[in-house]
């Protein structure tokens, strides 16, 4: 019996000793954490998308408290939430220009030809491993919607021609689509970048046109119409957005295919010349029938 009492006493003393050591260590090693971090994090959307440039909402909240970021950098938050956080902290909201995802391709199944029917896992990444995806233009959008699947904000959907369409009101520029696209067709752009090259093909001239009705054929007319902002990189035009004031709509008016377009309120606008070419593509004029060759009349001679 005395042995049990001694063992119990030893355990009690040992427990008290360890508890005292833990309490001392906790006091000595305590790291103060601003309670406002929890308050700010609670107001954030918990998307952990990384669009703000930090590794999740918690890291962003800590950066805002430290003054290393502004509430407006969270593009997933509504304007009301951003203002609420700014008011709570007594800082400027710092709302900058909205950024959205943009797709450098307009070649849906209505205008881009497929040379093969793909059967297998319904995924752009999987299909791209098989002959580049099945389209004549192996540089363009495959159209199986991997980008749609990874968008946490329901800002992407496939239209009837299997081309992803960005809902600019819902897009938070998280960049998931940029990472997921096996053709590297998405990029994050300020919404003020309206002159846009909706093509990434490296095919040239006739080959490009035969593969897709809206492909860039490398004519260079857009670069001549807006030389301050547009230059040619091989057969593709490149817009210098540092000179955005010179990125004018004149460039789309001379484009014969609509590969360079104007983006306004989520709508893709092409020039009149390109629109006429597309109308002709969808409604080709009837082929003229060749007249039957005339047969010379022969007269019968009896004798």
Pairwise CA distance, residues 93 & 79, whole Å: 9
Helices 57-66 & 36-43, crossing angle to 10 degrees? Answer: 130
Q: What is the pLDDT of residue 12?
A: 83
Residue among 139, 141, 169, 170 nearest 154 (CA): 170
Confidence label for 32 from pLDDT (cuts 50, 70 and 90): low
Q: Which of 44-48, 86-90, 174-178, 295-299 has the highest mean pLDDT?
A: 174-178
Q: Which residue has the higher pLDDT, 297 or 172?
A: 172
- Predicted local distance difference test score (pLDDT) of residue 10: 78
Closest alpha carbon to 247 in 265, 228, 261, 260:
228
Q: How many CB atoms are located within 10 Å of the residue 62 CB?
A: 19
- What value, to the nearest 5°, has the Cα angle with vertex 283 and ends 278 and 284? 95
> What is the value of pTM for the model shown?
0.76
Report the DSSP beta bridge partners of residue 232: 237
**Token pair for 58:** 């918690």
Segment 181-208, tens digit of pLDDT:
999 999 999 999 999 999 999 998 899 9
**Which residues on adjacent β-strands are paired with residue 231?**
238
Strand partners, 101: 188
Task: Using alpha carbons, select from 198, 183, 215, 196 the residue that is nearest to residue 112.
Answer: 215
Q: Compute how many other C-beta atoms are within 10 angstroms of the C-beta atom of residue 300.
A: 4
Q: Write out pLDDT tens, residues 106-163.
A: 999 999 998 888 888 899 999 999 878 889 999 999 999 999 999 999 999 999 999 9
Mean pLDDT of the chain: 88
| Nearest one of 269, 160, 248, 258 to 209, comparing CA atoms | 258
In angstroms, the CA 49 to CA 25 distance is: 36
Q: Say if residues 284 and 240 touch (Cβ distance below 8 Å).
A: no
Q: Is 301 a residue whose pLDDT tops 70?
A: no
Task: Return the beta strands (E) in 36-174 as ranges.
Answer: 99-103, 156-158, 164-166
For residue range 41-87, list pLDDT tens digits in order.
Answer: 899 888 888 888 888 899 999 898 888 888 988 888 888 898 899 88
Fold topology of 36-89: 3-methyladenine DNA Glycosylase II; Chain A, domain 3 (1.10.15)
Q: Minimal CA–CA distance to 189: which of 263, 261, 255? A: 263
Query: Is it the case that residue 302 has pLDDT exceeding 90?
Result: no
**CATH 3.30.70.20-classified regions of the chain:** 98-191
Give the mean pLDDT of 221-240.
94
pLDDT of 7 over the 90 cut: no
Using DSSP, state whether 89 is helix, strand or coil.
helix
Q: Return the pLDDT at 303.
A: 43
- Check residue 293 and give its pLDDT: 64
Is residue 19's pLDDT more than 70? yes
Supply 286's token pair.
């009837």
pLDDT at 35: 86
Distance CA 97, CA 256 (A): 32
Angle between helices 57-66 and 79-89 (to 10 degrees): 40
Top pLDDT among 292 and 187 is at: 187
**Run of H or E including 158:** strand 156-158
Q: Which residue has the higher pLDDT, 79 or 298?
A: 79
Residues of each domain in the chain carrying CATH 1.10.15.40: 36-89
Task: Read off the pLDDT of residues 265-285 as tens digits, 9 standing for 90 and up.
Answer: 889 999 999 999 999 888 887
Q: Residue 220 has what pLDDT? A: 94
β-bridge partners, 240: none
- Position 300 pLDDT exceeds 70: no
CB atoms within 10 A of CB 291: 6
φ, ψ (nearest 5 deg) of residue 158: -85, 135
pLDDT at 16: 85
List residues bridging with 187 in a β-sheet: 102
DSSP 245: G
Contact of 196 with 262, CB cutoff 8 Å = yes
Task: Please say whether the structural domain 98-191 has been given the CATH code 3.30.70.20.
Answer: yes
pLDDT for 80 equals: 87
Q: What are phi and psi of 217, to 5 degrees?
A: -100, 0
Q: What pLDDT sits at residue 238?
A: 96
């Amino acid at each position: 019996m005395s042995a049990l009492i001694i063992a119990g006493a030893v355990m009690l003393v040992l427990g008290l000793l360890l508890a005292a050591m833990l309490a001392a260590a906790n006091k000595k090693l305590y790291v103060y954490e601003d309670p406002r971090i929890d308050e700010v994090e609670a107001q954030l959307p918990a998307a952990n998308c990384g669009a703000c440039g930090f590794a999740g909402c918690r890291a962003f909240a800590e950066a805002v408290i430290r003054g290393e970021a502004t509430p407006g950098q969270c593009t997933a938050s509504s304007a009301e939430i951003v203002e609420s956080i700014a008011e709570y902290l007594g800082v400027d909201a710092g709302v900058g220009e909205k950024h959205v995802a943009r797709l450098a391709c307009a070649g849906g199944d209505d205008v881009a030809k497929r040379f093969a029917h793909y059967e297998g896992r319904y995924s752009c990444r999987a299909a791209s491993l098989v002959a580049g995806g099945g389209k004549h233009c192996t540089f363009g959008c495959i159209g199986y919607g991997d980008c749609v699947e990874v968008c946490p904000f329901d800002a992407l959907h496939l239209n009837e021609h299997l081309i992803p369409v960005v809902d600019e009101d819902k897009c938070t520029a998280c960049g998931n689509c940029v990472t997921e696209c096996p053709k590297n067709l998405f990029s994050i752009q300020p919404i003020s970048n309206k002159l846009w090259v909706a093509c990434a093909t490296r095919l040239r001239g006739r080959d490009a046109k035969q593969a897709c009705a809206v492909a860039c054929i490398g004519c260079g007319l857009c670069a001549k119409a807006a030389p301050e902002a547009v230059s040619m990189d091989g057969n593709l035009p490149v817009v210098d957005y540092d000179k955005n004031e010179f990125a004018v709509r004149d460039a789309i008016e001379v484009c014969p295919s609509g590969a360079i377009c104007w983006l306004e309120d989520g709508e893709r606008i092409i020039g009149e010349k390109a629109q006429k070419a597309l109308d002709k593509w969808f409604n080709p004029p009837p082929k003229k029938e060749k007249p039957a060759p005339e047969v010379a009349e022969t007269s019968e001679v009896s004798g």
